[in-house]
Amino acid sequence: MRSSRRIWKTVALLAAVFACATVVWLWRDPMGLVHAEFSRQRWAAGLSLVQADVAGHRWTYAVREADQPGAPTVVMIHGFTGSKENWYPLAARLRGHYRLVIPDLPGWGASQRIEGQDYGFVAQSTRVAQFIEQVARQSGSEVVLLGHSMGGGIAALTAAQYPAQVDRVGLFDAAGVRFKDNQFGIDVLAGKNPFGVEDAASLRRYVDTVFHVDSAKPFIPWPASRALIDWRIRQAPFEQSVLDRIGRSEERFLPGEAAARIHQPALLLWCQQDAVIDASAMSLFGVQMPQATQVLLDGCGHMSIMERPDDVAAAVELLIRKGEPR
């Protein structure tokens, strides 16, 4: 009996120590739980973090080698306010079959940002082409370039302007064409940032705008939510400068115009309930890219790569099997 009580006291003491340690950890790093979840997802996808200096910036990217030599390299480019972590659900489904290279774009995530530099469509597409040439491309292996949202516009320009670096291209919920009016587009043209976050209510509005499926919406517990809000407030000037560049300047429709020069095998994928880049954008890109396979998913929003990763993975597999590159 005494032995049993001692065991329970020991368990209670260890639990108390663990709880105190957790509190101290979260106090020192409020985003610790979020970072831990990203690490878990990265481990599940078999990815490792690497850095490289390309195009005058220090890039941070996740990479996983293919199980077989010579397999295609799939490069994934995230969107506005996004990061490499947005691609982890898809990466987990493609792991082993292909070499995966998933960068934070310069200016975003863990990659370097340089004051006064241009981070619009054109400048970033040039950087992505250099990144592919110096980091992603391997002799005897195709490069499949995937881009989501802003990253889709960047991918379109990269494939059109630097065809030697891109063998196949996939544009997912991509920016860069004059799609049907929605509230997001109206706000951007008015000089607002619909993704702006300054308090708990705007954080929830941001999540609800980009996600349609409730189960896919990330849970951000306190104090991580408070730390995220504070960080997004600090990012607001940079976000607005990029949004003005890709959403209001002479660059905003360049990806759609350049798409007519994309001759590689291509994939266009949208979600019917996308409240950011309306699904009408897919047919506009499709007119410019008649060779592209078009996939319209029902029951998901702007974050197709997180809401429907199984369907997106199947579409990517089809893209890679389709036809001869260029």
Degrees to nearest 5, angle at CA 179 with 173 and 185: 90
pLDDT at 233: 96
Domains of the chain: 47-321 (3.40.50.1820)
Cβ–Cβ under 8 Å, residues 249 and 120: yes
Token reading at 306? 């997180």
pLDDT digits (tens, 9 = 90+) for 136-184: 999 989 999 999 999 999 999 999 999 999 999 999 999 999 999 999 9
218 or 240, which is more confident:
240
What would the pLDDT profile of 44-96 be if each residue is shown by its tens digit?
Answer: 999 999 999 999 999 999 999 999 999 999 999 999 999 999 999 999 999 99
pLDDT in tens, 220-268: 888 889 999 999 999 999 999 999 999 999 999 999 999 999 999 999 9
* In contact, 74 and 98? CB cutoff 8 Å: yes
Nearest to 78 by CA among 103, 46, 110, 41: 103
